Amino acid sequence: MSLDPRGAALAEIARLADQHHITAEELAALATESATPSPAAPSEPPAPAPLHARGVLVRVLGFLGGTFVFAGLSVFIGLQWDAMSSAARVVITLGSGVTAFALASLARRERRFQPAATPLYLIAAVLEPVGMLVAFEEYGSGGDWRWASLATSGAMAVQFGLAYVVARRSTVLLVAVSFAAVGLCTALDLVALDDGVIAIATGGSLVLAAVRADRLGHRDITPLWYFVGTAVCLAGVFDQVKSTPFEVVFIGAAAGFVYLSVLLRSRTLLVVSTLAILAYTGWFTSEHFADSIGWPLALVGFGLFMIALSGLAVRIDRDYVRASRVV
C-alpha cells in the first residue's frame, strides 16, 4: 500500500534519522529553530505599489494645483510690487515661501495631502531665496552681491538638507544639492579661483552627489546632475588645457567619464562624454588640420582600433576575469 506524499516524507525522515543516529529531541529542536524567524535577518522593503488611474489623477491634480497657486502669487506680487513697502515686499516673498515650506512639511505627514507636498516644496524653493535676496536689496548697504548669494544658497541648502533627513524625498534632495552647488561655486569665486578650477570642482561635486543619490535610491533625479556636472566639469578641463601642450588631458578626462558611465550604467554620462569627445575632435580639426585629408583617415583608423580593442577587452573579461571569479 503506497503512502501519501506527506507520509512518504515522514518515512524518509525517520529512515535518515535512524541511519545517522539523530534523536527525536534533536529533530524537535531543529523544527523549533526553523519555525522561529531569525531576528538578525534584514527584512526586505515592500515593493512599491503600482500607480493606478486614481493615484495618477491625484498626483496630476496636486501638481496643477501647486502650479496655479504659484502663478497666482506671482501675478499678485507683480501687480502690487511698486505699491508695496520694503517690509511688505519681504513678507510677500519670503513669508510666502516659508509658509509653503511649512505646509509641505505638514502635508507629507497626512496620506491624503501627500501629493501636494512636492509642489509646495518647489514653491518654497523659488520664493524663499527670492525673498532673501529682496531683503538684502531692500535693507542692505551695498557691497559684493556674492556674499548675499552665498548666504542665500547656504541657508537654503541647510534648510532643505535637514528637511531631507526627515522627509527622505527626492525633490527635497534635489533642491538641497542644487543650492549647495550654487553655494560652492560662489564660495570658490569669492576666494578668486580660476573659472576653470571652479567649474571642475562644482561639476565634479555634482557627479559625486549623483553617484551617492543613486545608491540612496533616488535615481529619478540623478540624470540632471550627471548632465550638468559632467558638462561643467569637462568645460572646466577644456578651459584649463586649451591651447597648451596638455590638450590631450581633455580626451583622457572625457574617456574617464565614458568609463564611469559603464560602471554606473548611466546613459546620461555616456551621451555627454561622447558628445564632448566629438566636439573636441571637431574643434581640434578646425584649429590644426582644416585642409588635411590624412587627419580624418587617421581618426577613422584610430576609431577602428578602439573598436577592435573593445572586442579584445570583452574577450579577456569573459575568458579570464569572470573565469577567475568562478574559481
Q: What is the pLDDT of residues 185-217, one digit of tens each?
A: 999 999 988 988 999 999 999 999 999 998 888
SS3 track for 250-294: HHHHHHHHHHHHHHHCCHHHHHHHHHHHHHHHHHHHHHHCCCCCH
219, 227 Cβ separation under 8 angstroms: no
Output the pLDDT for position 209: 92
Highest mean pLDDT among 36-50, 58-72, 139-153: 139-153
The CA distances from residue 19 to 2, 23, 24, 163, 236, in Å, are 22, 11, 13, 63, 74
Catalogue the long-range contacts made by 218-224 (C-beta closer than 8 Å, 24 or more residues apart). 218/170, 218/173, 220/170, 221/170, 221/171, 221/173, 221/174, 222/266, 223/266, 223/268, 224/174
Structure-block grid coordinates of residue 226: 550627471
Q: Calculate what percentage of the chain has a pLDDT beyond 90.
A: 24
Output the pLDDT for position 275: 84
Specify the amino acid at residue 74.
Answer: S
Output the pLDDT for position 47: 45
Q: Which residue has the higher pLDDT, 277 or 296?
A: 277
Distance CA 152, CA 166 (A): 22
197, 240 Cβ separation under 8 angstroms: yes
**b/e per residue 281-309 (b: at least 16 CB within 10 A):** eeebeeeeeeeeeeeeeeeeeeeeeeeee
pLDDT single digits (tens) 72-105: 777 877 787 888 888 988 888 899 889 989 998 8
Q: Strands, E, within the chain: which ranges? A: none
Output the pLDDT for position 33: 57
Distance CA 234, CA 227 (A): 11
Stretch 257-273: mean pLDDT: 84
The burial of 59, by beta-carbon neighbours within 10 Å (0-12 exposed, 13-18 middle, 19 or more buried), is given as: middle
pLDDT band, very low/low/confident/very high, at 144 (cuts 50, 70, 90): confident
119, 65 Cβ separation under 8 angstroms: yes
Instruction: Indicate the DSSP class of residue 183.
Output: H
Q: What is the DSSP string of 79-98?
A: HHTTT--HHHHHIIIIIHHH
CB atoms within 10 A of CB 34: 8
Stretch 50-58: mean pLDDT: 58
151, 125 Cβ separation under 8 angstroms: no
Distance CA 283, CA 293 (A): 16
Highest mean pLDDT among 9-13, 112-116, 120-124: 120-124
The burial of 129, by beta-carbon neighbours within 10 Å (0-12 exposed, 13-18 middle, 19 or more buried), is given as: buried
Report the mean per-residue pLDDT for the chain: 79
pLDDT band, very low/low/confident/very high, at 18 (cuts 50, 70, 90): confident
User: Does pLDDT of 160 surpass 90?
Assistant: yes
CA dihedral 242, 243, 244, 249 (to 10 degrees): 40
User: Does pLDDT of 183 surpass 70?
Assistant: yes
User: Does pLDDT of 45 surpass 50?
Assistant: no
Give just the sign of the alpha carbon dihedral 310, 316, 319, 323.
Answer: negative
